[in-house]
Amino acid sequence: MRIAAWDVFRLRIPFRFAPRRPEGGRRAEDNIIVRLVLEDGTAGYGEGAPREAVTGETVESAARMIAGLYAPEAEKIDPVSFGEAAWAAAGLRVVREGRTVHNAARCAVELALLDAYGKAFGAGMDALKESIPGIGGEGGSSAAPLVASLPRLGKFGSRAAFLFFRIFGFRSFKVTIGAPSDKISWSAAASLARKTRRGRFAIVADAEGAWTAEEAPGLIARLARLGFASVEQPVPAEDLAIFARSRSEGTGIEVTADESFRTAGEAERLAAGRACDGLMVGLSKCGGLFPSLQVVEVARRHGLRCRLGAAEGETGILSAAQGFFREIAPGFVSVEPSFSRLFLRPNIVRRPPGLGGLAGFWPRSGCGLGVRVDEKKFQDLTEKLCDRKSGAAAAGVRKADGRSGATS
């Protein structure tokens, strides 16, 4: 069954509160949504979160890459089973242009393919375990601790958020810490750290590359004294290897790379250079389920700890994929759910994941990704960037038009 048509949309949903952004920062993020329609009318949806500071992509560049490369490649497939469609999705290329890696675009296309063909063939995501050898064979990370990312709301607001998440059973927390001059974030971090010192809770920091390579060792030692378990991306992406040569060992704090890698090859270089202790994996950042599994394998071979993160502003489409990835990828020491119902004002997915029960994940039902898109909200919140009929569909239309003309 072939693909009949493609649509690529820009999606902007405002935040209720920005999960990790400083006060006064942007209150929304632009994501990209791919909707593909098969010949039988089945529609599938995929999502990517292009972030110029991470992969180098913008929504516009991701849309151009999908229309110019990924859509024509995918239109060539004509699977007779979900397994064949899954192999085709796994075979999508990771495309690099200079510093840009088009992983958000690839992720959106991969998920749309899995969603559409899963629905068409009556298969859920669990069918991947049977279709592709090695998927889920070593077990997943369903038991990995869930980390609540606290909004940047100042000292008292962060403490209120901490208490809120505690009510829902969270025992691990993540705070954003800026440069040493950012007294507000450091004061909030110190206040929260005092609440976790008794060993009942764990707290990690995300520096978002705000420190210099020279000041990072001292700041990490400061976090160690406060009781932090790890720090994510202490220096800018390009400076991580420089920092690694001078960082203090034996602090007891894990250094996790995030923006410093986007592909398995980049992760391999960081691991070989002993630039970090762990890797923060994100589906959109790494290009989807299959490239993310390659990053997990790099971490396993080098003895690095893996953490699974979410993209700011992602909807239930990406959240559903992350929930499944948590089940099939082994070795994660923590998982950071997106909490799209909490952080986003509306959501294009019906009944998005909440905070109760599975604390941010929910049982998938139905085929494909197992989510239902609210078409009215989708139309209200999206802007179509490009569309096209597949070559096969267009050829079929021309052939039908030719037959009708000859008959008349």
Average pLDDT score over residue span 181-202 = 83
194-208, 219-233, 356-370, 385-399: the lowest-pLDDT one: 385-399
Where residue 161 falls among pLDDT bands split at 50, 70, 90? confident
Q: What percent of the chain has pLDDT over 90?
A: 52
Q: What is the pLDDT of residue 405?
A: 36
CA distances from 99 to 96, 147, 207 (A): 7, 30, 22
Contact 305, 277 (CB under 8 A): yes
Q: What is the pLDDT of residue 406?
A: 33
Residue 161, classed as helix, strand or coil, is: helix
Cα Dmax for the chain = 85
* Residue 281: pLDDT over 60: yes
* pLDDT digits 0-9 by tens, 87-96: 999 999 999 9
Q: What is the pLDDT of residue 394?
A: 38
Q: What is the pLDDT of residue 164?
A: 86
Average pLDDT score over residue span 51-72 = 95
User: Angle CA(307)–CA(309)–CA(314) in degrees, nearest 5?
Assistant: 170
CA distances from 317 to 7, 198, 266, 353 (A): 16, 37, 27, 10
Q: What is the pLDDT of residue 36?
A: 94
Contact 353, 360 (CB under 8 A): yes
Average pLDDT score over residue span 249-254 = 73
The residue ranking higher by pLDDT, 298 or 13, is 298
Contact 17, 341 (CB under 8 A): no
| Cα 212 to the center of its chain, rounded Å | 26
The residue ranking higher by pLDDT, 365 or 319, is 319
Q: What percent of the chain has pLDDT over 70?
A: 85
> What does the mean pLDDT of the chain come to?
85
Q: What is the pLDDT of residue 64?
A: 95
Q: Read off the tokens for 400.
A: 């039908």
* Residue 276: pLDDT over 70: yes
Task: Say what the pTM is.
Answer: 0.89
Residue 87, classed as helix, strand or coil, is: helix
Average pLDDT score over residue span 206-231 = 91
* Residue 85: pLDDT over 80: yes
With 0-12 CB in 10 A as exposed, 13-18 as middle and 19+ as buried, what is 261? Answer: buried
Q: What is the pLDDT of residue 249?
A: 62
174-178, 243-247, 264-268: the lowest-pLDDT one: 243-247
* Residue 178: pLDDT over 70: yes
User: Of 319, 285, 291, 230, which is closest to residue 49 (Cα–Cα)?
Assistant: 285
115-119, 165-169, 196-200: the lowest-pLDDT one: 196-200
Average pLDDT score over residue span 28-47 = 93
The residue ranking higher by pLDDT, 30 or 152, is 30
CA distances from 332 to 145, 174, 262, 279, 318 (A): 9, 16, 17, 10, 18
Pairing of β 28-38 and β 3-14: antiparallel
* pLDDT digits 0-9 by tens, 336-390: 988 776 767 777 888 766 554 444 455 566 799 988 899 999 999 999 999 877 5
Q: What is the pLDDT of residue 246?
A: 66
Separation of alpha carbons 388 and 296, rounded Å: 35
Q: What is the pLDDT of residue 311?
A: 87
Contact 324, 140 (CB under 8 A): no
Q: What is the pLDDT of residue 393?
A: 41
User: Angle CA(361)–CA(364)–CA(370) in degrees, nearest 5?
Assistant: 115
Torsion sign (Cα): 312, 326, 334, 150? positive
Q: What is the pLDDT of residue 231?
A: 94
Which H helix or E strand runs over 184? Answer: helix 183-196
Q: What is the pLDDT of residue 365?
A: 67
CA distances from 48 to 161, 171, 179 (A): 28, 29, 29
Q: What is the pLDDT of residue 353?
A: 61
Separation of alpha carbons 280 and 311, rounded Å: 11
| Cα 298 to the center of its chain, rounded Å | 18
Residue 315: CA count within 13 A, CB half-sphere: 32
Q: What domains lie within the chain, and their CATH numbers?
A: 3-132+371-391 (3.30.390.10), 147-343 (3.20.20.120)
Residue 344, classed as helix, strand or coil, is: strand
